[in-house]
Amino acid sequence: MTELAIFDLDGTLLDTIGDLAVACNAALALRGLPQHSYEEYCGFVGNGILRLVERALPEPLRTPHTVAAVRRDFVEYYTAHIDLRTRPYEGIPELLRTLAARGVRLAVASNKFQAGTSKLVARFFPDVEFAAVLGQREGVALKPDPAVAEEILHRVPVPRDRVLFVGDSGIDMQTAAAAGIRSVGVTWGFRARTELVEAGADHLIDTPAALLDLL
């Protein structure tokens, strides 16, 4: 019986790519730099804002100074416009409510900066009780390092064989493996099914409701 479900945020619970893309393009436009499509941004996201900005910049401009400056502009714009295009994936609110009703504890483990992670979870899931909502914080390694999963397991001390880690990227599958917990790859997110398979996903699901069959 599953006692804890840990979810990635972007591409798993929420479709955030529209707001991420617009914010990053706005930061690039300030400098007269080329912008990117939503599809391109699907390949840029997953490793935190710093890597997103780095991937969006032309290679000759990927210096620490420029990346840091564009990141500041991105965070300022994104924080102010964080929920204009973002929406939960169909079936996600119902899934979370069902899991909670069955006594499964819930947590979020994201590589998005902490303020953005907290704001989005509070905005779109105000009635859902999460045991932990953790994003990128200074001094804490990003996924696929298992640090965030380990922190959640410390807060919710349940046997690892009763935990599911749910995400849309190979990074999430690697995080689960490093933490010694079962991984569930979702195919409705930003990354291809093949990436999840190659990263060693223990399970693949095509709809949120299918997670209930894995409990």
pLDDT, tens digit, for every residue of 50-83? 999 999 999 999 999 999 999 999 999 999 999 9
| pLDDT for res 135 | 97
Q: Which domains does the chain have, with CATH numbers?
A: 4-15+87-214 (3.40.50.1000), 17-80 (1.10.150.240)
- State the CB neighbour count (10 A cutoff) for residue 206: 10
Asked if residues 112 and 1 have their Cβ atoms less than 8 Å apart, the reply is: no
Q: Which residues of 74-109 are buried (b: 16+ CB within 10 A; e: fewer)?
A: bbebbeeebeeebebbeebbebbebbbeeebbbbbb
| pLDDT for res 1 | 92
Q: What is the chain's mean pLDDT, rounded?
A: 97
| pLDDT for res 72 | 96
pLDDT, tens digit, for every residue of 134-171? 999 999 999 999 999 999 999 999 999 999 999 999 99
pLDDT, tens digit, for every residue of 7-49? 999 999 999 999 999 999 999 999 999 999 999 999 999 888 9
213 catalytic? Reply is: no
Mean pLDDT of 91-99: 98
| pLDDT for res 136 | 95
163-167/87-88 β-pairing:
unpaired
Asked if residues 209 and 99 have their Cβ atoms less than 8 Å apart, the reply is: no
Q: In which residue are the tokens 């006594």 written?
A: 103
| pLDDT for res 191 | 95
| pLDDT for res 110 | 98
